[in-house]
Chains A and B, each alone.
Chain A
Amino acid sequence: MRPNRILEKAYRESVAVGKNTAISETRQLLEKRKKRFKLFLINSKVDMPFLLLTLLLLILGLIMLFSASHPNAYHFHKGNSYYFIKSQAIWAILGVVTLFFMSYLDYHHFHKLAVPILCISTILLALVLCMPVRNGVHRWISLGPVSFQASEVSKFAIVLSFAHFISINFKRMNKFKYGVIPYAAILAITAFLLYLEPHISCIIIVVLLAGGMLYIGGVKLRWFGVVLIVALAAVGYLILSNKLSYASARVINWLDPFNPNVNNWQTKQGLYAIGSGGFWGLGLGQSRQKHLFIPDPHNDFIFAVVCEELGFLGAFIILLIFSMLVWRGIVISMRAKDKFGALLGIGLTAQMALQVILNIFVVTNTIPNTGISLPFFSYGGTALVMLLAQMGIILSISRNVNLEKT
């Protein structure tokens, strides 16, 4: 940690400056900065712990994906056990290339891209509603052989745009007009479009991400109180008016997972798998629940197979690696040279962390079943590339950290 005194001094200075400056001044600041940007950061070093943890998780994820997916691949893809892992491995290679590319790319370029990406995200969210329904929801956008979830883009768009807006308006964040209204508007539009899909889990992630970033960005706590009250009222209304029937059935299943009358096959099978693992696990490749008992064990419920094969010990270690990655991600962000980098890094780290946490909450029946995949582990090529690209951005931030070490 840097000495508090220096920090406080800097803070006071910045507040003093902020009182007298206007938007134009900020722009000038940005102009100045631009000149200092390099396209690529060749001579700086990435944060090795973060890179290694990322690659470790990627490898573990691929191994577990193969183990979890081969019975399904065998049964549903004409005996081709490698169906899922082959595709995922190709995407993983692409993802690693993207990761390194992103790590060399100066993240400040995203300042310029923030608004266009937000616009594209909104358009995609609107567009996805016209796409054909899969499993009762509109989530996927298909471009020939490649398809991706619009919500993946929107999560990134929210993180990026918030980091962008908060960093340039940092001094006015304590004002309602600058600190709350624009963000609330962006969030409301995104959440509404996600609600139409519907994609509740993504709304939860987006709202939590936005809230976290605004909180770190310096929004006064009382506004959170107001938002919380409004949110609770809205949820209460929706529950009372039974508009969330799609979600409410899941809530009922959640409360009583082993009730035979309840249609929660996936949750139940997942819990069987977790329980079967015990402390030591059945051994890599020895899961029995993956043999068509757990529907799509390569997707959202892959962690149940991990628990069954590697036991509590393995699951604990994997969660530990994830925690270390999160911790490292936030440390990198906090050492970023500027607020944009800090906020962007925190946002991206938190997005990954929230995905992991919510996925495990679903698998362990801590919250009702909702479709959230496990980063690095779940099957999904575009999502993996997206994730690795985001990790690359964090690495890019790590190249720009202040030299001072804590």
Chain B
Amino acid sequence: MAKGVTVRMWRRALLVLIILLVGGFGVSIFRLVEWQLIQGKDLQQMAMAQQLKDIAINAKRGTIYDKNMKPLAQSVEAWTVILEPVYLKSDESKNLVATGLSEILMIDKDEILQKMRKESFYEIIKRKIENSDRDKILAFKKDNKISNGIRIIDDTKRCYPCGCLASTVIGFTGLENQGLSGIENYYDQELTGKPGRVVTAKNAIGMDIPCEHEQSMPAQNGRSLVLSIDEYIQGVMEKYLEAGRVHNNVVNGAVAIMMDVNNGEILGMATEGYDLNNPFDIKNEEEKARIETLEKEERSKAEGEALQKQWRNKAISDTYMPGSTFKMITAAMGLEEDVVNEGTRFNCSGGFRLFNKEKTVHCHKREGHGSQSFLEAICHSCNPAFIALGQSLGAERFYKYYRDFGLTQETGVDLPGEANGIFFSKDGTMQPMSLVVASFGQNFSITPIQLITAVSAVANGGKLVKPHVVKQIIDDSHNIVKIVDKNVKRQVISKQTSQRLRKMLQKNVEVGSGRNGNVPGFQIFGKTGTAEKIGQSGQDGKDYIASYCGCAPADDPQIALLVIYDTPKGKDYYGSAVAAPTFRTIMEEVLPHLGVRKKFTNSELLNAGVSAPLLIGCSVDESKEKLSRLGLKVQVSGPIENKVVSQNPKSGIIIPKGGTVLLSTDSTIPEQKVAVPNFVGLTLSQVEKLASLMKLNVCVSGATNSGNESKSVRQNIKLGTEVSQQTVITVEFIQRANIF
């Protein structure tokens, strides 16, 4: 056995075997237990973090439609450019890509080069580029044979087809398509939807690998909103609000709100606004120019302030003193509590002496309105009469109604940033002096939306409704998900009170201080307001807020409209002179659009115009007869025995009562032209005289009376324009005197 294995070898080999099995394989297994079974979960997660590509599928943000399904805000395709610097190794390729991209996207080249220094797969170069830019980049990639390094991924961009329309209501979105203001913000969750996900496994260079891990969850697109706002009405409101703002040199902004009095739907809400497609541009050119002259820090601060100001929805976020428009509320309180009726007599001596007999609150008519009925007091907008009414109501009852009209809390309109009014005290107690001034709408402040909601309650039979701008929430395929119903908070006054007050206020619009807001035939009822601003009087004396709030039609109220001009610096500052014409022009266009039929009273019928009949081809005598039946006069040019070959005004055009029609019987005689004279700044009789002298027809709009109080302010055909004889020119009048 000499050459065989010895016992010691056996022993030692056994030891080596044990060391290998225990120290080697045993430890290996121990380590595997540690990594796989103990730390396995953690390691698996770390591995997944790098292996799984979690692609979010963007949910399409919902569209915002107007009442008639016209899109006001929609998401459109856009692209985001991503750089993958890892694949751009050489300086040459880096430079090429940086140059190309900087040219196409108009970005600084150094900025791109800076981003390329990072060892990453994802550097955002520019977001939300247009299709055209994307095509350029694709072409650039193809031309230069760049296969890796630039990626273009799907994105969406919010687009507002109507630009500035209803900007402060709709609001805008940020880079991540999140709503930042307005409806976009308030309904962000509904609009956003739920992004979907696709989880795929990828290899180290980001390519997909086949893997049972792939899961996908489809995106749930955002809901769309149907607003109660009508794009046409909104446009009309914005147009006339802006025209009035410019005309009256209004420095502190303007507001117009139109609301359906019965269900609280907001039909239009106009403020100055901004371009929704470029919300970060300061719209006010002067302001922009001023800011650009500032130093760096001040400049960004001023910019921020200016932007905040332009994004602010003045209709709901700012409070103001309603002034005389509030008399509608006070009158409703008085009628409801039966402390006053249409015939109650009030005496106005031109002022109300306060309790300490030292100070006097003057009426706007210093010499006083004398003895007047309550109806007359409303038409006069007499302060002392309303002070007396307030006194007989008392603070307690006043506050009860004040609260019931919803003026102590936000209306709950579905827009972000709604403010609340400021009353004299939180618990409703009032100093005697406070009650005095509160009776005619001074020294407390409310938001415009609060006022129009309260006035709607006055108009609709006493129900306080919750205003809202979103009518329906619909899904992708236009199925209705939610209908926003009428939400009646409470009955504030009785139906009868509402009806009585409507009649009085209609009278006010027909013959009283509200005349400038009248549109004959539509039974408008409302009230002007001119509030003094406290503590904001500038160097040129006091500042005012001119407003007009009214509804139509009186027999079946449908809409309420409130127009506010904050701090007019023009010739006028009275609500009747500043806000009423805007109110009237808006109503004039909106009421027919809403399908409200004109209903004339007898006196109105007398003044209404007639439609010109078709006379061409008739004999002169025949024409004369037809026209005289309509109360129109005739002017003939050419031989009388011929038949009519042309007429002016043409058939169908409205001619004022007593107007003249020019008939031409000979086409060879050239048409008689006249240059339109200046009709502005004249009284009605002066205008009529001038018109008959110039052989023109004049259609009168606005508040007129035979006296000198009413002056013309606008004419629809410019001074000096050459027109045919007997052309109809519309001249607008407003009443300056005896209005408050």
Using a CB–CB cutoff of 8 Å, the interface residues on chain A facing chain B are: 1, 4, 6-11, 13-14, 17, 29, 71, 75, 212, 215-218, 258, 271-279, 286, 288-289, 291-293, 307, 311-312, 315-316, 319, 322-323, 326-327, 330, 333-339, 342, 346, 350, 353-354, 356-357, 360-361, 364-366, 402
Contacts and interface: CB of A to CB of B under 8 A. Distances in A.
A29 B40 CA distance: 59
A274 B7 contact: no
Nearest to B208: A291
26 contacts: A1-B10, A7-B10, A10-B4, A11-B6, A14-B1, A71-B203, A75-B203, A212-B16, A218-B9, A272-B43, A274-B36, A274-B43, A275-B43, A278-B36, A286-B211, A289-B47, A291-B202, A293-B51, A307-B36, A322-B25, A339-B6, A350-B16, A357-B24, A364-B32, A364-B35, A366-B28
B289 interface: no
A357 B25 contact: yes
A335 B5 CA distance: 7
Nearest to B7: A7
B719 interface: no
Nearest to A360: B28
Contact of A326 (B8, B9, B20): B20
B204 interface: yes
B40 A275 contact: yes
Q: Output the residue of B29, B32, B34, B42 with the most chain A CB within 10 A.
A: B32
A50 to B, nearest CB: 14
Contacts of A218: 6, 8-9, 12
A326 B16 CA distance: 11
Given A6-B1, A271-B35, A361 B40 contact: no
Contacts of B176: none
Given A275-B40, A278-B44, A357-B28, A8 B7 contact: yes
A10 B1 contact: yes
Nearest to A330: B17
Interface string B187-212: 00000000000000111110001011
Nearest to A283: B212
B13 A273 contact: no
Contacts of A291: 51, 201-204, 209
A364 to B, nearest CB: 4
B694 interface: no
Nearest to B49: A272
A7 B1 contact: yes
A291 B32 CA distance: 22
Contact of A342 (B5, B17, B33): B5
Q: Output the residue of B9, B21, B201, B213 with the most chain A CB within 10 A.
A: B9
A264 to B, nearest CB: 14
A327 B36 contact: no
Contacts of A273: 47
A353 B203 contact: no
Nearest to B9: A216
B693 interface: no
A335 B16 CA distance: 16
Nearest to A353: B20
Q: Output the residue of B7, B13, B31 with the most chain A CB within 10 A.
A: B13
B44 A346 contact: no
Nearest to B8: A218
Contact of B47 (A275, A279, A339): A275
A233 to B, nearest CB: 24
B606 interface: no
Contacts of B44: 272, 275-276, 278
Contacts of B31: 360-361, 364-366
Q: What are the 4 closest A-B residue pairs judged by CB atoms, nearest first?
A: A275-B43, A10-B1, A291-B203, A357-B24
Contacts of B39: 275
Given A13-B2, A276-B43, A276-B47, A327 B9 contact: no
Given A288-B201, A350-B16, A361-B31, 10 more contacts: A10-B1, A14-B2, A218-B8, A276-B43, A279-B40, A288-B211, A312-B33, A330-B16, A339-B5, A357-B25
A327 B204 contact: no
B27 interface: yes
B3 interface: yes
Contacts of A323: 21, 25
Contacts of A350: 16, 20
Interface in B200-251: 201-205, 209, 211-213
B37 interface: yes
A14 B51 CA distance: 65
A370 to B, nearest CB: 16
Contacts of A4: 7
Nearest to A337: B4
A326 B21 contact: yes
Contact of A271 (B6, B28, B43, B205): B43
B24 A353 contact: yes
A333 B50 CA distance: 48
Contacts of B34: 364
Given A312-B33, A360-B31, A13 B1 contact: yes
A53 B209 CA distance: 34
A164 to B, nearest CB: 14
Interface string B33-77: 111110111111011101100000000000000000000000000
A357 B20 contact: yes
Given A275-B44, A288-B51, A316 B32 contact: yes
B36 A272 contact: no
A53 B375 CA distance: 115
A7 B6 contact: yes
B3 to A, nearest CB: 4
Contact of B3 (A7, A338, A354): A338
Contacts of A258: 46
Interface in B390-413: none
B16 A215 contact: yes
Given A275-B35, A293-B203, A10 B47 contact: no
A339 B1 CA distance: 10
Contacts of A333: 13
Contacts of B212: 286
A168 B16 CA distance: 22
B204 A292 contact: yes
A315 B28 CA distance: 10
A274 B35 contact: yes
Given A275-B42, A322-B25, A334-B13, A339 B36 contact: no
Given A293-B51, A307-B36, A333-B13, A356 B3 contact: no
A306 to B, nearest CB: 10
Nearest to B1: A10
Nearest to B38: A275
Contact of B40 (A6, A277, A289, A339): A277
Contact of B37 (A276, A278, A339): A278
Contacts of A361: 27-28, 31
A275 B36 CA distance: 4
Contacts of B33: 312
B209 A327 contact: no
Contacts of A327: 17, 21
B438 to A, nearest CB: 69
A277 B41 CA distance: 9
A223 to B, nearest CB: 14
Contact of B25 (A11, A319, A365, A366): A319
B393 to A, nearest CB: 76
A6 B12 CA distance: 18
A29 B2 CA distance: 11
B500 to A, nearest CB: 80
A319 B33 CA distance: 13
A339 B44 CA distance: 50
B20 A279 contact: no
Given A288-B47, A307-B32, A364-B31, A356 B2 contact: no
B214 to A, nearest CB: 12
A10 B2 contact: yes
B16 A339 contact: no
A291 B10 CA distance: 47
